[in-house]
Amino acid sequence: MIKKYNYIITGAGCAGLSLLRRMMQHPFFSNKKILLVDKKPKTANDKTWCFWEQEPGVFEDVVYHRWQQIDFYSDFFSARFDLKPYEYKMIRSVDFYQTVLNEAKQHSNIEILFEDIQSVFSNESYAVVKTKENEFHSDFVFNSIIFYDWKKLAMQQKHTYVLLQHFKGWLIEADENCFDEGIATFMDFRIDQTNGTTFVYVLPVEKNKALIEFTLFSENLLEVSTYEAAIANYIQSFLQIKNYTITHKEFGVIPMTNFKFSKGENRVINMGIAGNDTKASSGYTFQFIQKHTAKIIDALLNQENPLSAKTIFEKRFQLYDRILLNVLYNKKMSGDKLFAELFKKNPVQSILKFLDNESSFKEELKIMNSVPLVTFLPAALKEIFH
């Protein structure tokens, strides 16, 4: 028997649950039949999302910690920045998952199902989700699952850059109070850059607790022992902490690529990494998911198809991303020196706006003028005329 819904959300991660929460917050969806389906429940604290905002967001109640200042370190430039009017915020995935799923259980029109999803497709009239056990139809499917080997496909395409942002994080508890809870280390490049653009985040959540995250932009992953040794060395050499306990570990990989993930087709709308919500040049995803899901809600309220094309404004930032990827992928300028130039010559607020795709063209020109023309002009010309 085929079950029918108004909306189906496939994937109960950041994108799927972000959309579901927005639906629960608007009365328009209170009488709509909504199905959330994923392979299995998400109960582990498997990710940490950090982002910046000027105003309270949809997930303000889930924010675990926030910082008003950030430190930037490199061998070329180091400084501390006041972020106002921004705040740098942290959300733990376990809090995110539990909060949204517990809310969903209070809504009789929402069904949560755990089955292995085999395929998602659509015709002009309705969308289809097939699991091993069942088939479901709906007006729209909002999908965040990648059903193919995107990296293999990307490597077969010409003029496609494929980098990975991969990171290993340790949450440590030191024997002594050694952190300032109001200051986060946004990027510390004072470490070995042999394997690619490499930096460390230090995110204090208490005076003796912090998440230390070792991050790289490169084509390939490292051995587990390499990440572990790098974090241990950083804690000893730079933080000068001798006695501590590791209370939690996490690992993640985010694509940094100009490969075009499909936005969807007909009545299937892709979201998250699957829907091109990851900024190609930085790997930032959380806030782009929030923008995308907000647009989806607006489209549904106006009885429009949420499958929207990129605007000229959005394509402008795609060009910037391709240029930066070109430079990093071809090693025309080291990442530590590039980011040092950006932070040295621009207000931190302008950089954050640029990374959020919210800067003005005037601000973007100033940012472009802060990097070497001899390096970036050839890359820009290649991407413009490709």
DSSP assigned state of 9:
E
**Pairing of the two strands 268-270 and 264-265:** antiparallel
Task: Return the CATH fold of 3-43+93-146+261-301.
Answer: FAD/NAD(P)-binding domain (3.50.50)
For residue 75, the model assigns a pLDDT of 97
Q: Would you state the pLDDT for residue 111?
A: 98
Question: What local confidence, expressed as pLDDT, does residue 104 receive?
Answer: 98
Distance from C-alpha of 339 to C-alpha of 337, rounded to nearest angstrom: 6
Rounded Cα gap, residues 272 and 293, in angstroms = 9
* CATH number for the segment(s) 155-256: 3.30.9.10
CB 19 within 8 A of CB 142: yes
Any idea where the domains of the chain sit in the sequence? 3-43+93-146+261-301, 155-256, 312-384
Q: From CA 227, how far away is CA 253, in angstroms rounded?
A: 13
pLDDT (0 to 100) of residue 386: 76
> What Rg do the C-alpha atoms of the chain give, in angstroms?
21
Q: Which residues contact 299 (CB under 8 A, 6 or more apart)?
A: 305, 306, 308
> Which ranges constitute the DSSP H helices of the chain?
14-24, 93-104, 150-155, 224-237, 286-301, 312-329, 335-345, 348-355, 361-368, 373-384
Mean pLDDT in runs of 10 for the chain (386 residues)? 95 98 98 97 92 97 98 98 98 98 97 97 95 96 96 93 97 97 98 97 98 97 97 98 97 96 95 96 96 97 86 86 96 96 97 96 94 93 89
Query: Residue type at 357?
Result: N
Kindly report whether the global pTM for this prediction surpasses the value 0.85. yes
**Strand pairing of 69-73 and 183-188?**
parallel
Hey, which residues does 121 pair with through a beta bridge? Answer: 128
How many residues are present in the chain? 386
Question: Exposed, middle or buried, 45 (CB in 10 Å: 0-12/13-18/19+)?
Answer: middle
